[in-house]
Amino acid sequence: MNVVVTENYEEMSVAAANVIAEQLKAKPDSVLGLATGTTPIGLYAELVRACDAGEISFANAQSFNLDEYRGLPGTHDQSYRYFMQDNLFDHVDIDVEKTHVPDGSMEDAQAACDAYEQAITQAGGVDLQLLGLGHNGHIGFNEPCDSFPVTTHCVELTESTIQANSRLFDSADEVPREAYTMGIGTIMKARKILLVVNGSGKAEIVRDVLRGPVVPQVPASILQLHPDVTVVLDKEAAAAL
């Protein structure tokens, strides 16, 4: 595991974007696993800048996002499809037909999850998976539980996650209670993993993830067992290491 500590959010974003840029340069047809949330906004902006400058291209790449709220269509301004279009896809040369986000509008949860898992397999698996980290150690929407979920599945969100995400909605009551998410097993199949975390509020969970025991109650702790993980932190997130 390679842990990189940067001075601030801006440096963290550039360092993480460089990891993705190098992946695209080495393999232009990479399958990228992407994440949403406030943490990757800066690195997506840096990737847009690099693409505009002709330093990288997404033209031959494809992507699979970690998760999506169940019940939100891709046109909803709080859906993760909307987020990705707004922060990355609409501003780079990627073929939108090669960008994949779980279909939150599908009512049949099992069918939605099975279809997504199959699509990842048919694409040859993920070359580089980008991850953020929840305050409770979740990656994707894999919440603390008694076992590590293997494949893409429907999950009931914890109250802490609902409250954390409520800042993006008019109220907590509007936050969906379920989501479709890649499983821990799906994430761990990625050839490379990039974990990006910022802020003092996540310092303790970063310590638990990187230095604590590997337990499903801290879902991201399983990353300790992956052979190729890069962790990029700002110094506040690294404070408890």
Q: Tell me the three state secondary structure of residue 5.
A: strand
pLDDT in tens, 128-141: 999 999 999 999 99
Tell me whether residue 138 is one of the annotated catalytic residues: yes
User: How far is the C-alpha of 178 from the C-alpha of 148, rounded, in Å?
Assistant: 18
Which of 136, 178, 204, 226 is labelled catalytic? 136
**Phi, psi values for residue 235, rounded to 5°:** -65, -25
Q: In the predicted model, is pLDDT for residue 100 greater than 90? A: yes
pLDDT in tens, 160-180: 888 888 888 888 888 889 999
Contact 47, 17 (CB under 8 A): yes
Count CB atoms within 10 A of the CB of residue 75.
Answer: 10
Q: Which pLDDT value is given to residue 109?
A: 92
Q: Which two tokens stand for residue 10?
A: 């801006």
Q: In the predicted model, is pLDDT for residue 207 greater than 90? A: yes
User: How far is the C-alpha of 180 from the C-alpha of 102, rounded, in Å?
Assistant: 7
153-156, strands of its sheet edge to edge: 67-69, 178-181, 153-156
Q: Which pLDDT value is given to residue 157?
A: 84
Tell me whether residue 136 is one of the annotated catalytic residues: yes
CA distances from 32 to 63, 108, 156, 191, 214 (A): 5, 26, 26, 10, 25
Which of 68, 143, 208, 234 is labelled catalytic? 143
Q: Tell me the three state secondary structure of residue 106.
A: coil
Q: Tell me the three state secondary structure of residue 64.
A: strand
Q: Which pLDDT value is given to residue 167?
A: 84
Domains of the chain: 2-234 (3.40.50.1360)
Amino acid identity, residue 123?
A
Contact 125, 190 (CB under 8 A): yes
Q: What is the pTM of this model?
A: 0.94
Which of 46, 67, 117, 234 is labelled catalytic? 67
Q: What angle do CA 124, 127, 128 make, to 5 degrees?
A: 145
Name the percent of the chain lying above pLDDT 70.
100
pLDDT in tens, 20-79: 999 999 999 999 999 999 999 999 999 999 999 999 999 999 999 999 999 888 999 989
Tell me whether residue 7 is one of the annotated catalytic residues: no
User: How far is the C-alpha of 140 from the C-alpha of 181, rounded, in Å?
Assistant: 6
Tell me whether residue 67 is one of the annotated catalytic residues: yes
